[in-house]
Chains A and B, each alone.
Chain A
Amino acid sequence: MLATSLFLLFGLVLLSISVAASLGLLGLILGAIYSPMPLYRGLADIVWVNAIEFLLLAIPLFVFMGEVLLRSGIAARMYEALTKWLAWLPGGLMHTNVGASALFAATSGSSVATAATIGTVALPEAESRGYNERLFLGSLTSGGTLGILIPPSINLIIFGLLTNTSVPDLYMAGLVPGLLMASIFTMTVLVACLMRPGWGGARITCTWAERLRALPELIPPVLIFLLVVGSIYGGLATPTEAAGLGVVGALVLAGARKALSWPMLLSAAEATMRTTAMVMLIVLAAMFLNFVLGVIGLTQALASFVAQLGWSPTAMMFAIVVFYLILGCFLETLSMLITTAPLITPIVIGLGFDPVWFGVLMMVLLEMALLTPPIGINLYVVQSVRRKGTLTDVVIGTLPFLAAMMVMVVLLIAFPGIALWLPKALG
């Protein structure tokens, strides 16, 4: 049953059938083969119940907020300001890429949006500065993945929804690892450029006066972060409501910069609808597939198989990491999260691990999945923004950062406190 399911899934996906249709059809086919009951009849009920799930409403709200910030020029000016602060380091704008990704991640719930936004702003700047192009691209693909680790995060919300874990706890747990990961990326760039000074391109320097003058440009993203994350901890709003508050905040900021107009809102809404449709169609199809996998007993079969292995918690965690690394090469991240989290998390909790910690580890593994070919969405996003050269450049440039993320995985497993310290300190 497992072999058939995987074979069908990979078959449908490789035939270049859209991911959502593949998941949905797989659910219908598996239901027809393995269940005597007409499972297909439940499709619309499951889809409707999830289509009105309030927690998922955060998806369009976060995407819309990011689109408004991008279109009001706030992202571009933030990038410029960070350049003044970070680009003196060996590696120049690559540090700005990482820093800007981390800061934009604090206002965006999605990794794809973060990579697309910072990529759009950064790539024109890279021309004619003599960077190692591959490493430059790698700093964009990997920096973009921070979008789901640094709060707010759509994927953390979905993880919380699927595993009944507190989203505010997950947010707080993601913050320190997110910043640590950004530092590790920065170190990666630094080490590479110290070893091969030619890779670092032209050094960009500026005066302290210029730096101080640029500081106000960093205020808008910080304000949005405080509004979205602060309103949750101030007892003002729930995580989904906070996303709505963030949209209004972004609109006010755009208005303050005189960038707010009906055409601008329409183009932001259009981009939001495109992204929401892609994401939600996958989410809804994956929810139905989950139902079918549960009813035909595949879920339990896997769980009991894992349980009877009887490995030590560390060995199990190692196996889970390898499992996600391999799966991450071939699966789109959101469908991977939705189909595996409800299955793996109870096993992990049973082994004595903390669900909040596991949520953060899961985010790092999903981030790696965004970067591993053949199916690594962030690779495609950056290549699409770049519109020249081959995908191979992007893949090779990303490899050092993948190694850095492996370090992060090991650190998280060895020192769970990296994730758990902040939520404990605040709670």
Chain B
Amino acid sequence: MSGGRTEEEMMNTWDRFSSRMNKALTVTGACLILAIAIGITAEILLRKIFNETLGGMDELASYGFAIFTALAFSVAALARANIRIDVLRSWCPRPARVALDLLAQIALIAFAGFLTWRATLLVGASWAKGTTAITPLATPVAWPQSVWLAALWVFVTILCVMFGLSVRALLRGDDAALATLAAPVGELDELAPQQHTITEALTTGAKEA
């Protein structure tokens, strides 16, 4: 049936989008965490050996951390990796489970959306007032805040798209799609996809060495 095909196409589009998005977020995240670790190490060595300081390395690292975290929210959203307690859910019949899954999506959107809305106002105020950090660097905080805010918006957008696709899958009765969009990966299978790569890494690591 043609309806089924479009649904399938749509899921393919989503899969492609989500894996590209995941890749982009991961590459950015890897660069950030490496930069932070190397920056901190450089600061330690400079301080110990040359009695010098990069000046405000901790502050820059803190902004990097906030941005890393906000980007990470999207990675976790795409992997449905937020901790959900599914003691009750696992006892429920299927329709109730679907209802709980959608409710969980709505609740996360509500909290994340609310946070992002308030954050938008905060960053607006920082721009308007030209707020600077009271640190030696006196960073105009609107700069790091804006990047952080953009990452939060990406997060909320992803959550909304996933919710929209879930509702669509529900209406079309596409259980498989619904499961990949809304069911908890929880603790139970959260590590499963990861574990594959881990085992792979372990065996290659052992073989190579």
Contact = CB atoms under 8 A, between A and B. Distances in A.
**Direct contact between the two chains A and B in their complex (CB within 8 A):** yes
A241 B57 CA distance: 10
A314 interface: no
B66 interface: yes
11 contacts: A24-B115, A48-B122, A57-B61, A73-B206, A120-B195, A236-B44, A245-B44, A273-B26, A278-B76, A280-B72, A385-B195
B175 interface: no
Nearest to A51: B66
A71 B202 CA distance: 6
A47 B121 CA distance: 13
A281 B184 CA distance: 17
Contact of A281 (B40, B65, B73): B73
Interface in A374-399: 374-375, 377, 380-381, 383-385, 387
Contacts, number: 253
A415 interface: no
Interface in B105-125: 107-108, 110-112, 114-115, 118-119, 121-122
Interface of A: 12-22, 24-25, 28, 40-41, 43-45, 47-48, 51-54, 56-57, 60-61, 64, 70-77, 116, 120-121, 124, 231, 236-237, 240-241, 244-245, 247-248, 251, 257-259, 264-274, 276-278, 280-282, 285, 332, 374-375, 377, 380-381, 383-385, 387
A281 to B, nearest CB: 6
Contacts of A282: 83
Given A274-B79, A276-B68, A73 B36 contact: no
B88 interface: yes
A381 B184 CA distance: 14
Contacts of B58: 54, 240-241
A15 B44 CA distance: 47
B41 interface: yes
Nearest to A374: B87
Interface size on B, as a range, is 35 or more
Interface of B: 22, 25-27, 29-30, 33-34, 36-41, 43-44, 48, 58-59, 61-63, 65-66, 68-73, 75-77, 79, 81-89, 100-101, 103-104, 107-108, 110-112, 114-115, 118-119, 121-122, 144-145, 148, 184, 186-192, 194-195, 197-199, 201-202, 204-206, 208-209
A18 B104 contact: yes
Given A70-B198, A266-B26, A267-B197, A280 B187 contact: no
Nearest to B30: A269
B121 A18 contact: no
Residues of A contacting B: mostly: helix
B209 A73 contact: yes
A89 B38 CA distance: 43
A120 B62 contact: no
B186 A380 contact: yes
Contacts of A268: 30
